[in-house]
Amino acid sequence: MPAENASTPGTGPVAVSAGSPLLRVDDLHTSFHVAAGEVRAVRGVSLTLDRGRTLGIVGESGSGKTVLARSIMRLNIGGNVSTSGNVEFEGRDLLDLPLKAMKNLWGTELAMVFQDPMTSLNPVVRVGRQLTEHVRSNLGAGRGEARQMAIDLLREVRIPDAEARLRAFPHELSGGMRQRICIAIALACEPALLFADEPTTALDVTVQHQILNLLGREQRDREMAMILVTHDLGVVAGRTDDTIVMYAGKVVEQAPTRVLFTEMRHPYSEALLRSIPRIGQRSHTRLSAITGRPPDPIDIPPGCPFSPRCPYVQQKCREEPPPLVAAGDGAGGASHLSACWYPVGTDAGRDAFARNLADRLPQTVVVAEGSEFAESAAANAAAEATAANGSFEGGGA
């Protein structure tokens, strides 16, 4: 088992938050054994989550977010999967639990909302039946009681004309409505922990906000713990207590979410932040996409996995994997961790960036020019606003 990024021996898993945890994941590894080799999808992830708390898991496509969530829930089924480590949920060791006992937890104490509602809903069964059957089989409710619970749940997730909607087939509903149905099913048995895996990626922007707000409201009202998986760092802002940033199957930074945004230390987190489109951004502002591609999970480079793309990279990064350690003495205290030799916002990071810029390292130049571009765009916008104010005042005089 690779040692890098595992918990420090003897200290147990890294605590995301204080208090008695609902979920404790320790040094979790998941691989898929395929003809081309071993796909190392999750490589030593540790985290804890308390009751009623929210955790964001953020990273690009292929970083291992879904495999991590599915490994915790033991949903990675197939003869070619191997998982090791420890997953403790409400004091139970999930990886050792008999499959029958595990299945009893699915949908009751552990629930999941997937990216595409059509993969969770049966297209040939009316949504009302899907909801009532779930309630009846998991809660033992009678027919009438289950129907009333289904109506109440649909109202709770803000589906208008709930009674009529029970008779609809999934394809007769909009994408947002279908996702609301999935959320209703997931909430039906009052789970202690809800995984929401890219729950809004398939929806348009307005509906995305509505669904995220709905999830947030339900999470707070029910005091339920929630893990929100997303590729978009902007989605977790203001919505999760803590955030984990994943790259190539590892946690590269974790912190209370507000600390992550104010004291970001990892160059990959910074790159994700740069790639968020900002409200109010002028339409011609260039988006700073991250140069290069994530590594092949069968052939992950030695040293830091982000090194081929990192604007701060130095020779040490290519040789030695950086451990996940305390990110300094900032506001996040011991709960802010980062795996980087030349962290953002430190003298070491600034020097590394300056050296690479002097050497015209392509990914460093792109970032430097991107920020110059953004700064000059902001300066232009400010100048234009001043000029517009001036002409308005002049015209009114």
Using CB under 5 A as the criterion, which residues of the chain lie in contact with Mg ion when the complex forms? 66
> N- to C-terminal Cα distance for the chain?
76
CA of residue 17 relative to chain centroid, distance: 17
The minimum distance between CB 34 and ligand ATP, in angstroms, equals 5
Counting contacts by CB under 6 A, is residue 307 touching ligand SF4? Answer: yes
By C-beta, is 72 or 352 nearer to Mg ion?
A: 72
> Shortest approach of ligand SF4 to residue 318 CB, angstroms?
8
The CB-of-241 to ligand SF4 minimum distance in angstroms stands at: 25
Which residues are CB-neighbours of 288 under 8 A, at least 6 positions away?
271, 274, 275, 366, 367, 370
Window contacting ligand SF4 (CB under 6 A); options: 88-96, 107-115, 181-189, 339-347: 339-347
- From the CB of residue 58, how many other CB atoms can be counted at a distance below 10 Å? 28
Closest to ligand SF4 by CB, 305 or 332: 305
* DSSP 8-state secondary structure symbol assigned to residue 15: P
Identify which of residues 39 and 264 has a Cβ nearer to ligand ATP in the complex.
Answer: 39
Q: Does 313 bind ligand SF4 (CB under 6 A)?
A: yes
Question: Do residues 149 and 188 lie in contact, with contact meaning Cβ atoms separated by under 8 Å?
Answer: yes
**Of these partners, ligand ATP, Mg ion, ligand SF4, none, which one is at the site of residue 178 (CB under 5 to 8 Å by kind)?**
none
Cα separation values, 115 from 176, 180, 195, 272, Å: 11, 12, 11, 20
Residue 363 binding partner per list ligand SF4, ligand ATP, Mg ion, none, with a CB distance cut-off of 5 to 8 Å that depends on partner kind: none
Q: Does 341 bind ligand SF4 (CB under 6 A)?
A: yes
Q: Could you tell me the smallest distance in angstroms from the CB atom of residue 288 to ligand SF4?
A: 16
Q: Which is nearer to ligand ATP, 76 or 288 (CB)?
A: 76
Output 62 or 343, the one with its CB closest to ligand ATP.
Answer: 62
Q: Alpha-carbon torsion 54, 55, 59, 64, what sign? A: negative
From 180, 139, 140, select the one nearest 156 (Cα to Cα).
180
Give me the residue whose beta carbon is nearest to Mg ion: 66
Taking a C-beta distance cutoff of 8 angstroms, is the pair 290, 275 a contact?
Answer: yes
Q: What is the 3-state secondary structure (H, E, C) of 214-278?
A: HHHHHHHHHCCEEEEEECCHHHHCCCCCEEEEEECCEEEEEEEHHHHHHCCCCHHHHHHHHCCCC
Q: Is 62 in the site for ligand SF4 (CB under 6 A)?
A: no
> CB-wise, 34 or 334, nearer to ligand ATP?
34
Distance CA 74, CA 58 (A): 20
248 binds ligand SF4 (CB under 6 A): no
Candidates 322, 324, 332, 335; binder of ligand SF4 (CB under 6 A) is 322
DSSP secondary structure string for all residues of 329-394: SSTTGGG-EE--SS-TTSHHHHHHHHHHHHTT-HHHHHHHHHHHHHHHHHHHHHHHHHHHHHHHHH
* 361 counts as binding ligand SF4 under rule CB under 6 A: no
State which of residues 53, 227, 312, 361 lies at the interface with ligand SF4 (CB under 6 A): 312
Neighbours of 241 (CB within 10 A): 19
Q: How far apart are CA 320 and CA 270, in angstroms?
A: 21
Write out the binding residues for ligand SF4, residues 125-184 only, by CB under 6 A.
none
In angstroms, give the least distance from the CB of 186 to Mg ion.
17
Q: Min. distance of Cβ 247 from ligand SF4 in angstroms?
A: 8
| Residue 242: both structure tokens together | 């803590």
By beta-carbon proximity to ligand ATP, the closer residue of 64 and 267 is 64
Contacting residue, 55, 69, 177, 317, with ligand SF4 by CB under 6 A:
317
Nearer to ligand ATP, 173 or 196 (CB): 196
| Calculated CA dihedral for residues 255, 256, 262, 266, nearest 10 degrees | 10
Residue among 76, 178, 342, 363 that touches ligand SF4 (CB under 6 A)? 342
8 Å CB contact between 290 and 271: yes
- Of residues 365 through 384, those in contact with ligand SF4 by CB under 6 A are none
Binding site for ligand ATP (CB under 6 A): 32, 34, 39, 41, 59, 61-67, 231, 297
Q: Which residue has the tokens 């003897």?
A: 10
Name the residues that contact ligand SF4, by CB under 6 A. 266-267, 304, 306-307, 310, 312-313, 317, 322, 340-342
